[in-house]
Amino acid sequence: MAEIFKDLDPDTMVRSPGITYQELLNTDSHAVPDVLRLQSPKDLGYSEFSVDRYISKDWHDKEVERMWKKIWQFVCREEDIPEPGDHYRYDIAGISFLILRAETGEIKAYPNSCLHRGRMLKEFDGHASELRCAFHGFCWHLDGSLKDIPADWDFPQIDKEKFSLPELPIAIWGGFVFINPDQQCEPFEDFIKDMKTQFERWEPEKLYKQAHVAKIMPCNWKIAQEAFCEAYHVSGTHPQILRSLGCVNSQIDVWDNCARVITPSMTPSPLLDYELSDKDMMRTMMDLPPEAQVPELPEGMSPREFMANSSREDLRPNAGSKVDEYCDAEMLDSLDYTLFPNFHPWGAFNKIVYRFRPNGNDHRSAIMECIMLSPFQGERPPAAPIHWLKEHEKWSSALGFLGKVFDQDAFNMPKVQLGLESTYKSGIVLSGYQEGKVRWLHHKLTEWVGE
Ligand code: FES
Ligand SMILES: [Fe+2]
């Protein structure tokens, strides 16, 4: 983190009218864990960030050379490759990697490239007992050592002992597998430090991958990503959820490689210009039509506690008694974390994990993915395979209510791209606090890529 960023005093900093997130936590019916009591507001300044970051191929190329080829990045879940020989193809900006489970159970990552004349070794995710290239048949064991060269008499120059697939640094945290394309990279532990401590209580490794949906979006990957990094856009883009979401009362915290936006549910937005009844707020939260009955609140119970309890009962069959340990905030609020540059797991039982990355080397299109993680009892259910939406298919066709919200976000994306291609302005404007995570992302980009 650049040292110019100063800590702000949470008690005196400028913020939205309405209840603060910490004040809301004081009303919780359960003990609030320390992780939600953390506050790390930063003065990130008010500078603009160049439009080139979204529209210039040169900028994309720098991003690839200086960042994507050098940074720790999430590739797949451990459960995507449960058995020896299972492999997963991960591509970033026109470069392909092969992630696989070796005979020993260890996970390994190799460049997806044959050491003969370079053909990619595996085109698809799947299972294999060896890695045999489809071009001339060179073959490696799963542990990367050479197994076979057809007509090897013709390759006297190859030292078979040394002709192993190069290995890439790999790390596992919370059931997520990460690689770094740079063999000289910093240790993963140093990279993930703040996020790792904060997620301890939520144990994402104990969840299973219930769904995995992906789609090519017609915009730079950062446009897609930044649409999910603040709640300030809710009033403009998702007015239907404004009645149950304290959008501008979100708490934004910034550490070094990670940041979070916590957006409270069951508290009305200060941007509403009318009084809202508890029932109306519950109706919105429960997605009930106007004619439907809203349940009666038990005497003395707040709507927030009521909805948290209802969420506890929904989750109890799969999550067990853990739902009684989690406070109302953990049951209801959006605990949206980001590990730079593109990995966004939500805390507690929020389910969502987003990832955004460039689509090959096209800086005007992106791969957006949403992974849903769920608790389970008994044997781990198989991980859902990736489901690719076609250009005309909506997110709501795969993800229901949440998908409808994504479709509203997705609707903006190509318009932001075209708008940025057309602007006479050199940089984008960001708010100081509410868009702090987007601002932090850009400061980190400057650190890795340059201005
Ligand atoms: S390129 Fe792989 S065997 Fe020839
Ligand atoms: Fe949104």
**Which ligand ends up closest to the CA of 132?**
1
pLDDT band with cut points at 50, 70 and 90 for residue 4: low
Distance 184 CA to ligand 1 centre (A): 27
Q: Which residues contact 236 (CB under 8 A, 6 or more apart)?
A: none
**Residue 113: nearest ligand to its CA?**
1
Q: What is the pLDDT, as a whole number, of residue 15? A: 84
Could you tell me the distance, in angstroms and rounded to a whole number, from the CA of residue 149 to the centre of ligand 1? 9
Of 26-35, 196-205, 278-287, minimum mean pLDDT range: 278-287
Whether 148 shows a pLDDT value over 60: the answer reads yes
Going by pLDDT thresholds of 50, 70 and 90, the confidence category of residue 42 is very high
Pocket test for ligand 1, best of 133, 140, 147, 152 (most atoms within 8 A of CB): 133
**Exposed e or buried b per residue across 114-124, where buried means at least 16 C-beta atoms within 10 angstroms of its C-beta:** bbbeeebbbee
- Residues with C-beta less than 6 Å from any ligand 1 atom: 114, 116-119, 133, 135-138
- Going by their DSSP bridges, the two strands 86-92 and 42-43 should be labelled as unpaired
- The residue whose CA has the least distance to atom 3 of ligand 1 is 136
Which residues, including other chains, have CB under 8 Å from residue 277's CB and lie 6 or more apart? Answer: none
- Residue ranges of the chain that CATH labels 2.102.10.10: 73-179
pLDDT beyond 60 at 3:
no
Q: What integer pLDDT is reported at residue 285 of this predicted model?
A: 86
Q: Which CATH architecture has domain 73-179?
A: 3-layer Sandwich (2.102)
Nearest to 247 by CA among 237, 257, 255: 237
For the CA of 117, the closest atom of ligand 1 is 1
Residues 90-141: tens digit of each pLDDT: 999 999 999 999 999 999 999 999 999 999 999 999 999 999 999 999 999 9
Tell me the pLDDT band of 214, cut-offs 50, 70 and 90: very high
Ligand 1 atom with the smallest distance to the CA of 121 is 2
List the shell of residues around ion ligand 2, using CB closer than 5 Å. Answer: 409
Domain boundaries for CATH 3.90.380.10 within the chain: 6-61+198-449
pTM for this one? 0.96
Q: Is residue 2 over pLDDT 80?
A: no
The pLDDT value recorded for residue 313 is 96
pLDDT (mean) for 406-418: 98
Task: Read off the DSSP letter of residue 64.
Answer: I
Output the average pLDDT for the chain.
95
Instruction: Look at ligand 1, atom 4, and give the residue with the nearest C-alpha.
Output: 136
What is the CATH superfamily name and number for domain 6-61+198-449?
Naphthalene 1,2-dioxygenase Alpha Subunit; Chain A, domain 1 (3.90.380.10)
Among all bound ligands, the one having the nearest atom to the CA of 228 is 2
In the three-class reduction of DSSP (H, G, I as helix; E, B as strand; rest coil), residue 8 is classed as coil
Query: CA separation (Å) from 162 to 48, 115, 146, 166, 167?
Result: 50, 11, 8, 10, 13
Rounded to 10 degrees, the C-alpha dihedral 410/412/413/417 comes to 170
Mean pLDDT across the stretch 434-445? 97
Q: How much is the average pLDDT of 67-72?
A: 98
CA of 185 to the centre of ligand 1 (A): 29
Strand 208-217 and strand 176-179: pairing? unpaired
Provide the pLDDT for residue 357. 98
pLDDT (tens digit per residue) in 355-391:
999 999 999 999 999 999 999 999 999 999 999 999 9
